[in-house]
Structure 1
Amino acid sequence: MMTTPHNLKSKRLAYTAIIVYSIIVGLSFLFGKIALTVTSPLDSLAHRFTISFIAATIPVAFGWIKLQLKARDMLSILPLAVFYPSMFFAFQAYGLQFTSSAEAGIIHATVPIFTMIAAAYFLKERTTKVQKLSTLLSVVGVIFIFVMKGTSIDISNVKGTLLILLSALSLAGYSVLARRLSGRMKVMTMTYMMTAIGFLVFNFIAISQHVAKGTIAHYFEPFASPVFLLSILYLGVLSSLVSSLLSNYALSKLEASKVSVFNHLATLVSVIGGFVFLGEKLAYYHFIGAAVIVVGVLGTNMGAFGKRKGTSTISVSQKVER
């Protein structure tokens, strides 16, 4: 199938969107660490999606953005929002209580593999041998960095490993569902509903927990901290709302398998962010892992701006006005 000028421009915008997404998500680990010095993971998630929901509602309330949502669309979006953000962040938050963030990073590196398999089965996306090998290469690059830092997966810690694995599977499921829905639904509508459901789910869980413990008076205390306020604004507006918008847009234009592999760039941004802002040291294995990841990402997306053969569930004629 020939690549038209319109489709070429859309792809360039999609790649720009997913690169910006990777930068935002990569730096979110830094701000996430800051937020967790003030409050618990669950409260942090609840406040994060409260800020995100407020930010998403403002342009809707003023009529700057009009949502086009039908009853059947709600039923379609619900499974998407269950996968992400609900299950993804919930499994991640509770999984990190039983395992280290480094172990979680190794497990999450497998997301593009799960996404590729799911996309091939449910979306009939076709990938070449080079693209498959490139995806595996990017996974190896991430795992290499963590292993060289002295990290390994403790297989005896079944609970933590299983929860983080479920989090990774949830992200893969989101990528496939978002790719399918984006062909017939506006990106902003999808993003708004995902944010709203995340806001309801995490606030319900967090408030219920505080009520059970009799600590509801402490729920909003973190906002008294300027450091927490800064970090939660970043996490809520950029890392939750804007990143979801960028990811949903990219998935409306590109195959799920190609978009998913860009999550590994977020690992590089996280490493660079730790070096620049936290004074963390860079070792030789960071550079080797970075080179492997970049080669893997480029290989997975090779030929993106040329002629393409193969099929996809979303055709060029399905233009999505965003």
Structure 2
Amino acid sequence: MTSRGFALFALFMVQLLYGLNYTIAKLVMNGSYIKPFGFVLLRVAGATVLFWLISLFIPQEKIEKGDFIKLFLAAVFGVVINMLFFFKGLEFTSPIHASAIMTITPIIILILSAYALGEKITKLKVFGVILGLIGALILTIYGKSSRAGDNVPLGNLLIFLNAISYSIYVILIKKLTSKYHPFSFIKWLFLFGLILLIPFGYSELNEVNWGSFTPTITYSVLFVIIGATFGTYLLNPLALNKLKASTVGIFIYLQPVIAGLFALYVGADFFDLLKLSAMLLIFAGVYLVTKKPKNAN
């Protein structure tokens, strides 16, 4: 059984990989190396191959027939809609805007988990969500970036719809993680997603000029496939196995912090006292929501 400490570590790694992904994926698309839908198909195809290869070397649980329907729905929301809207939105907006908008996800997950999973919403959890949201909003308003988007309002809208889709995905797989080990069902999740994505991304992937790739672009594409796709979709269910869906959601508040720091590192942003204060608020919100109650097992 995954320990709570490892679950929290896995969850942090997911946000770290996603936080870096905003700038790295946009670098590839801005350079016109791969268009958004073609990039999505490539990342899902690569991750699907990795999941199925690993499944050959570890014991597998039998998936009940009825759960394949849940897996198919999870693939629709967590692989197809989620990724298509995210990459298309990221093409039009900036990494900092995109990561900040994703902070609406914890609120959606909190509401859905209370309704669908019967999770108790404590006052401390609500306060943590609000505190983190305030910090995220400060980053959204003041997180300027030198990377201008082509159509920021449209890009932001697509990222928002992606956040809703991702929230539904988290709720859908929560029950599956308590029933199966991630390796037992993620390979099916990605196989369904891959099949559904082919009509959307095949033509764009077919246009890719592989010979134009520089070493930096090649490493960036590999990071998106191995780190931001294979790694995150493996670690997230491991965290969900031990943590509440709402706790998993609140960690998304770390994404604008990580994305902002990375954008700063590559020269796409600047740092000041206001942003430091916003980041501290986000970390405080994460702490309050992930704090285990004294009477919990």
TM-score computed with the length of structure 1 as normaliser: 0.81
3-state SS of 1:109 partner: helix
What CA distance in whole angstroms lies between the structure 1 residues aligned with 2:236 and 2:160?
Answer: 21
Q: CA 1:140/1:241 → structure 2, altered by over 3 Å: closer, same or farther?
A: same
Q: CA 1:23/1:160 → structure 2, altered by over 3 Å: closer, same or farther?
A: closer
- In structure 2, what is the equivalent of residue 270 of structure 1? 259
Offset at residue 225 of structure 1 (A): 3.6
- In structure 1, what is the equivalent of residue 277 of structure 2? 288
Offset at residue 132 of structure 1 (A): 0.5
Q: Which amino acid aligns with 1:109?
A: T
Q: CA 1:125/1:185 → structure 2, altered by over 3 Å: closer, same or farther?
A: same
- In structure 2, what is the equivalent of residue 320 of structure 1? none
5 Å-filtered alignment, 1:104-115, equals: 104-115=98-109
Q: CA 1:98/1:268 → structure 2, altered by over 3 Å: closer, same or farther?
A: closer
Q: Which amino acid aligns with 2:257?
A: L
1:148 aligns with 2:142: yes
What CA distance in whole angstroms lies between the structure 1 residues aligned with 2:27 and 2:59?
Answer: 32
Offset at residue 101 of structure 1 (A): 4.7
- In structure 1, what is the equivalent of residue 237 of structure 2? 248
Q: Which amino acid aligns with 1:307?
A: N
Moved more, 48-57 or 246-255: 48-57
- In structure 1, what is the equivalent of residue 19 of structure 2? 26
Q: In angstroms, what is the RMSD of aligned CA positions?
A: 2.6
3-state SS of 2:3 partner: helix
Q: Which amino acid aligns with 1:256?
A: A
Contact 1:195 1:241 (C-alpha < 8 Å) held by counterparts: no
1:238 aligns with 2:227: yes
- In structure 1, what is the equivalent of residue 295 of structure 2? 307
- In structure 2, what is the equivalent of residue 311 of structure 1? none
**Post-superposition CA distance 1:225-244 (Å, at most 9, x none):** 43222111111111111111
Q: Which amino acid aligns with 2:119?
A: E
What CA distance in whole angstroms lies between the structure 2 residues aligned with 1:15 and 1:141?
Answer: 21
Q: CA 1:68/1:242 → structure 2, altered by over 3 Å: closer, same or farther?
A: farther
Runs of 4+ in 1 over 6 A off after TM superposition: none
5 Å-filtered alignment, 1:74-153, equals: 74-96=68-90, 101-149=95-143
Offset at residue 54 of structure 1 (A): 2.0
- In structure 2, what is the equivalent of residue 154 of structure 1? none
**Post-superposition CA distance 1:120-151 (Å, at most 9, x none):** 01111002112102112111211111201359
Q: CA 1:103/1:279 → structure 2, altered by over 3 Å: closer, same or farther?
A: closer
What CA distance in whole angstroms lies between the structure 1 residues aligned with 2:208 and 2:28?
Answer: 14
Unaligned runs of 5+ in 1: 1-5, 152-156, 309-315, 317-322
- More helix per residue: 1 or 2? 2
1:11 aligns with 2:4: yes
- In structure 2, what is the equivalent of residue 191 of structure 1? 186
What CA distance in whole angstroms lies between the structure 2 residues aligned with 1:274 and 1:150?
Answer: 10
- In structure 2, what is the equivalent of residue 68 of structure 1? 62
1:168 aligns with 2:163: yes
Offset at residue 28 of structure 1 (A): 1.4
* Aligned-pair identity (%): 20
1:41 aligns with 2:40: no
Offset at residue 260 of structure 1 (A): 0.6
Offset at residue 191 of structure 1 (A): 2.0
What CA distance in whole angstroms lies between the structure 1 residues aligned with 2:223 and 2:64?
Answer: 31
What CA distance in whole angstroms lies between the structure 2 residues aligned with 1:168 and 1:191?
Answer: 20
TM-score computed with the length of structure 2 as normaliser: 0.87
Unaligned runs of 5+ in 2: 146-151
What CA distance in whole angstroms lies between the structure 2 residues aligned with 1:103 and 1:274?
Answer: 11
What CA distance in whole angstroms lies between the structure 1 residues aligned with 2:240 and 2:291?
Answer: 17
Pair member with larger Rg = 1
Offset at residue 264 of structure 1 (A): 1.3
